[in-house]
Amino acid sequence: MFVVAILVIALGTSGPGQTSEKKAPPLSKAEQELIGMERELSEALVRSDTAALDRIWNDDFIFTAPNGRITTKAQRIEGVKSSAKSAAALVGSSSNDEVVVHLYEGTAVVTVLSTWRGKVNNEVFSEPYQATHVWVKQQGRWRLVAAHVTPVAQK
């Protein structure tokens, strides 16, 4: 009986009509904007839309690749252009599975767990990646200033 009482206390109790889950507070306007920007970013990368990437990425944007290599906005845009011309690799879709926004007066750090799907040399792939993005609000719009991406080990 003593063990059961401890378990009930440890696990908590819920009366009729009560739940132990708390509802998440509604998203702020800034959080909604940033989640939308993350979606826009992913769509632009899938489509190799360099015009959209040019608008999203700040002029001094820096990207840290999974191999640790750091590239600039100009280098990333050239990489996207050359990848779009290559038939060896094709990203067909991506989904942002989990997006968490941390706001700091005109700056935001956003973590994104995403899944990228496509083909490389006719082999189908579906790869999860974790990204950390730093956004700054300039002249009324969010711009991405830094990104770091790493693959997530699959179980």
Q: What is the mean pLDDT of residues 105-120?
A: 94
pTM (2 d.p.):
0.80
Q: Where are the domains of the chain?
A: 28-151
Q: In this structure, what token pair is assigned to residue 31?
A: 């959080």
Q: How far apart are CA 49 and CA 37, in angstroms?
A: 14
Q: For the segment 44-97, what is each residue's pLDDT rounded down to a tens digit?
A: 999 999 999 999 999 999 999 999 999 999 999 999 998 877 655 678 889 999
Can you give 17-47 as a three-state secondary structure string?
CCCCCCCCCCCCHHHHHHHHHHHHHHHHHHH
Q: For the segment 25-40, what is each residue's pLDDT rounded down to a tens digit?
A: 899 999 999 999 999 9
Q: Classify domain 28-151 by CATH architecture.
A: Roll (3.10)
Contact predicate 114/97, CB 8 Å: yes
Q: How far apart are CA 68 and CA 85, in angstroms?
A: 25
Of 108, 99, 92, the C-alpha closest to 45 is 92
